[in-house]
Structure 1
Amino acid sequence: MATNLAEKIVIEERQQQLEKIGYREKIGYASGDLACNLIYQTVTTYLLFFYTDVFGISAAAAGVMFLIVRVIDAVLDPIIGLAVDRTNTRWGRFRPYLLFGAIPFAIFAIFCFTTPDFSDIGKLVYAYITYILLSITYTTINVPYGALTSAITQDNKEVVSLTSIRMLFANIGGLVVAFGVPLIAALLSDTAGAGKERGWQLTMAIMGVAGAALLLFSFFNTKERVKFTHTETEKIMFSDVFEQFKVNRPLVVLCTFFIIIFGVNSIINSVGIYYVSYNVGRPDMVKWYGLLGSLPAIILMPLIPMLNKWLGKKMLLRLSLILAIIGTLALVVIPASMVGLILVARAVSAVGCLVAGGFMWALIPETIDYGEYKTGKRLSGLIYAMIGFFFKFGMALGGIVPGIVMQSFGYVANQTQTPEALTGILITTAVIPTIILVLALVDLNFYKLDEKEHSRIVAELRARVE
């Protein structure tokens, strides 16, 4: 009797996963990524610049710090994912982390952009502590937030729709960060009466409060349609991480893709402020350069479901990567004086990166289904933790690569740069991202989970409990 009841519950939950999702819930869910981008994209885009040109930490020391924090993430992310998969509360498995993580996330972000009057060593220690705390908090929110998609619906069309709206909101957040943050920081630096340090802190406070409010909005406007029993959560172990890497090839390919795409985006975004300020010699254009990195998403993200239906996921991703390569590589040959062409190249590169970066989130639920098909365990939280580590490592490249490369070419903050330093900035802006994008094309060829195979897997998963 108990077994039959459990099977009936699972069948009903599978049916609920295939229900149509209302736009209120889609907007509620998407608001969570808007929140994360307002806070964490501000960090990944401007923290290196803040450390070197405001707080007074060397580019090399900051770059090494970004790398060390990612090593810490490598240890903590699977542990957090395991904890998420073992969570079972009256609010669900994933949503409680949005509720209880929102305010700490905002507080630690503000601490990262605070400049206490410490010695050089003291500043570095402070930077390590605050950035590590922020990174842990981000993981504790972002892993369950991402996994929430698979708890909302299993319908592939609804997943693509949900993800498209999520990516639209994420890129609206990116738009605010790219254009608004430097603008607000400059205005507040002038009006706050305490220079750049106070201006950046107040700017991060605005982003943090808005982000926390949006996370709470997301919590109250989403629904988990799949409930997991205590018995199911007991079966989930840390060793499942290694099992997934062993049997879930689509997940391995996707993890690699996440490093590549978000690595490229992060490098381009974080070095953009240096490239425009020093190579182009137009610091007043920083906000416009950043704006073009996010603005195309307003048009593109709602079109992704149609493009996916028309082209198929692999062709859509290939064309996007080729476009990104063309736009990025163009910066190598365009003279720094031709600002108009530089902005066009930036827009072309952004179109490719945004489509590829936005669409691949829709592939994660497929890898969760595939992992369940191979192992019998639905490891949503653990898989999103694995994805989250590679995603964050990719974003950390925006601090690691520019910091190390620019330091090796002789970059010194707040002064006219040498020709060698300008060359280092250009290499980081265009050459390195182009090479990484080519690797993404190679990696994509190994993703064999097409629409037909995924539909067959979902049908078999449903049949197992019927």
Structure 2
Amino acid sequence: MTKQEQARLWPLLAYSGPMIAMSIVNLLLIAYVPNFYAAEIGISIATVGAIFMAARAFDAVIDPIIGNWSDRTRGKWGRRKPWIAFGVPAFMVMTWAFFQPPADVGMTYLLVAALLFYVTYAIVIIPYMSWGAEIRRDYEGRTQINSLREAGGILGTILATLLPVLVLPLFVEGDPTLRQILALLALTIIVVLAITVPIALRSAPQGEFEPHPPLGLFAALGLLRKNKPLLRMLVAIFVVWLGGAFHNSTILFYVTEGLGLGRADFLWLILAQYLMALISLPAWNKLANRLGRHRVLVLGAMGYFLAHQGFHFVPQGGFAGAIAVYIMAGFMTPVIWVMPPAIIADTVDYGMLKGGSDDSALYLALYAFVQKMALAIGVGLALTLAGNLGFDPQAPVTPQGVEALRLVTLILPGIIALAGCLLIWNYPITQKRHAIIRKWLARRAGGHQ
């Protein structure tokens, strides 16, 4: 790589740095925190599911508001950097409060902490994601920056799996508790954010946007109704993520209670998955530019859910079989994270062509809205369904409980996601059509491509 290429790459790498910490957050929210409050704090699994559903729903409603405020922000730091700079300290505080509650808390603490955590999370992640949509606007450029950002996310997930395995045995005998894992990783999140956010704010460009009079939330949302590709993709993403939420909210229970593996084993499984994800990411990046991001998204998403069907053939205590399943799923994993935000960013350009505004944060907030609503509904439904079918995390596991976990974790997710993938397969904004949209926008603005 030449010095000129390195100079062009460095700002993108700097932008990607904070995603290392944010991906650790995502992993903890998906795989650990609901289980922690149910299994170790002692709040009933149905109550935990209901509270997380309510908190996620509240968070999803807040996202478009924050997105619109970020789009309306004007100043020498641009539209995104001020929100990140002022939001990160509050987010650090709530990360510790949410992941390390006092031992005797109840449902009130969980509800309040969850609501405040998700608000501070949204203040950071919505401007951060929309910032990436504005740094590069061409089709391949968006694929690149989303791939680099998610590569940072994969590195964060690998870090989140390695640290408990390498560090906790120095201080803890036997299988670590969820509280001990969360304490170590919450501290890691805070340290990584303290290092990477100042570098990103200083080194990464603000990005470009077309100036327009700031619109109120309802006026901006009204313009988005004309954007049919956006609406179609949001519905599809909701359905795919709903299937993912079913799987992710119960997979730790399935691995530990259904297969009889330890939490340390689960960390090694996650490590294998994301190491494979990091290896496969460049190949998916190239394939997306050849086949189209939407087609690659379908292939990766369905491959991910199909890979988990291998668990049906893994015997009790079968760590080797489990890690083989996770490696196969890991090959598909980057697609699910890289492609959707890049596709949503393309609909911003389509919206401007149809007379809308350059409101990247609102678009990405709507993406986050449907993603979080899917997670909220998925976690609530999955935990409630598993509980009603006979699984109790605070009681000895029974064959009925294992079958409940098998249905919720392995069978239902792929069936649900298939409906979303059918909507995505013939998505209208291809690479060729996006290039035409960019040319028309440049011509209308008096520029040239």
Contact 2:242–2:417 (Cα < 8 Å) also in 1: no
> What secondary structure sits across from 1:375 in the alignment?
coil
Aligned to 2:192: 210
C-alpha distance in structure 1 between counterparts of 2:306 and 2:179, whole Å: 38
2:292 corresponds in structure 1 to 312
Residue type matched to 1:343 in 2?
Answer: I
User: Which position in structure 2 is the counterpart of 1:287?
Assistant: 267
* Equivalent residues of 2:136, 2:145 under 8 A apart: no
Structure 1 range deviating more: 452-461 or 181-190: 181-190
Q: 1:134 aligned to 117, 121, 140, which one?
A: 117
1:33-112 superposed matches below 5 A: 33-112=19-98
CA 1:198–1:449 in structure 2 vs 1: closer, same or farther (change >3 Å)? Answer: closer
Residues 267-300 of structure 1: per-residue CA shift (max 9 Å, x gap): 4344222111111111142112222332222112
Counterpart residue type for residue 82 of structure 2: P
Mapped partners of 1:252, 1:365: distance in 2: 13
The residue aligned with 1:272 is 251
Could you tell me the TM-score, scaled by structure 1's length?
A: 0.86
2:91 match: secondary structure: helix
CA distance in 1, matches of 2:177, 2:356: 57
Q: 8 Å contact 2:243–2:413 — kept in the other structure?
A: yes
Partner AA of 1:273 in structure 2: L
CA distance in 2, matches of 1:442, 1:114: 41
The one-letter amino acid paired with 2:197 is: L
Question: Per the alignment, do residues 349 and 61 of structure 1 end up closer, same or farther by CA in structure 2, a change over 3 Å counting?
Answer: same
Q: Secondary structure at the match of 2:17?
A: helix
Alpha-carbon distance change, 186 to 115 in structure 1, aligned in 2, over 3 angstroms: farther
Instruction: Give the CA deviation at 1:126.
Output: 0.6
Question: Mapping of 1:307-456 within 5 angstroms?
Answer: 307-396=287-376, 399-456=379-436
How far residue 178 of structure 1 moved from its aligned partner, in angstroms, is 3.9
Computed over aligned residues only, the root mean square deviation of the Cα atoms, in angstroms, reads 2.7
Contact 2:138 2:435 (C-alpha < 8 Å) held by counterparts: no
| 1:10 matched residue in structure 2 | none
* Cα contact 1:106–1:212 (8 A) shared by 2: no
* Aligned positions, number: 440
Instruction: Could you tell me which runs of 5 or more consecutive residues in structure 2 were left unpaired when the two chains were aligned.
Output: none
Look up the SS of the partner of 1:133 in the other structure: helix
1:447 and 1:147 mapped to 2: Cα distance?
22
Instruction: Report the Cα distance in structure 2 between the residues aligned to 1:319 and 1:197, rounded to whole angstroms.
Output: 37
CA displacement at 1:462 relative to structure 2: 0.9
Amino acid at match of 1:429: T
Partner residue, 1:163: 146
SS for the counterpart of 1:462 is helix
Go from structure 1 to structure 2 and tell me whether the alpha carbon gap of 1:184 and 1:396 turns closer, same or farther (over 3 Å shift): farther
- Tell me the TM-score normalised to structure 2 length: 0.89
How far apart, CA to CA, are the structure 1 residues paired with 2:167 and 2:90?
23
Alpha carbons of structure 1 residues 41 and 215: separation in structure 2 relative to 1, 3 Å: farther
What's the CA shift string for 1:375-415, capped at 9, x where partnerless? 23111111111111122233445632432122212333344
Match of 1:4 in 2: none
Q: Give the 3 Å change call, closer, same or farther, for CA 171–260 of structure 1 in structure 2.
A: farther
Q: 1:267 to 1:170 in 2, by over 3 A?
A: farther
Query: CA, structure 1 residues 393+214, in 2 after alignment: closer, same or farther (shift >3 Å)?
Result: farther
Q: Could you tell me which residue of structure 2 aligns to residue 302 of structure 1?
A: 282
Q: Is the 8 A contact 1:185 1:203 kept in 2?
A: no
The one-letter code sitting in structure 1 at the alignment partner of 2:367 is I
Separation in 2, partners of 1:450, 1:329:
31
Question: Is 1:177 aligned with 2:160?
Answer: yes
Amino acid in structure 1 at the alignment position of 2:114: Y
Cα 1:113–1:291 change in 2 (3 A) is same
Q: Which residue of 1 aligns with 2:132?
A: 149
Deviations along 1:83-118, one digit per CA (max 9) or x if unpaired, are 111111221101112211112112101101223254
| CA distance in 2: counterparts of 1:215 and 1:263, whole angstroms | 31
CA shift in 2, pair 1:268/1:385, >3 Å: same
Question: Mean Cα displacement is larger for which, 449-458 or 313-322?
Answer: 313-322
CA distance in 2, matches of 1:343, 1:315: 27
Percent identity of paired positions between Structure 1 and Structure 2: 22
Following TM superposition, by how much is the alpha carbon of 1:35 offset from its aligned partner in structure 2, in angstroms? 2.2
Instruction: State how far apart, in whole Å, the 2-side matches of 1:44 and 1:79 are.
Output: 24
Cα distance in 1 for partners of 2:17, 2:42 equals: 34
Match of 1:248 among 222, 227, 239: 227
Cα pair distance change 1:200/1:154, threshold 3 Å:
closer
Structure 1: 5+ residue stretches without partners? 1-18
Contact 1:94 1:145 in 2 (8 A): yes
Asked whether the equivalents of residues 12 and 145 of structure 2 are also in contact (C-alpha less than 8 Å), the reply is yes
Contact 1:331 1:342 (C-alpha < 8 Å) held by counterparts: yes
Which amino acid in the other structure matches residue 357 of structure 1?
Answer: W
The 3 A distance-change label for structure 1 pair 152 and 400 is same
Could you give the per-residue CA deviations for residues 311-357 of structure 1, whole angstroms, max 9, x where no partner exists? 33343233223422321223234444543233222222232243233
State the shift of 1:79 in Å: 1.2
SS in 2 for 1:239: helix
Find the aligned partners of 2:371 and 2:232 in 1 and give their Cα distance. 13
Tell me, in whole angstroms, the C-alpha distance in 1 between the residues paired with 2:9 and 2:139.
16
- Encode CA deviations 1:140-160: one digit per residue, 9 max, x unaligned: 111111111232121222111
SS in structure 2 opposite 1:458?
A: helix
Does structure 2 conserve the Cα–Cα contact (< 8 Å) formed by 1:150 and 1:365? yes
What is aligned with 1:3?
none
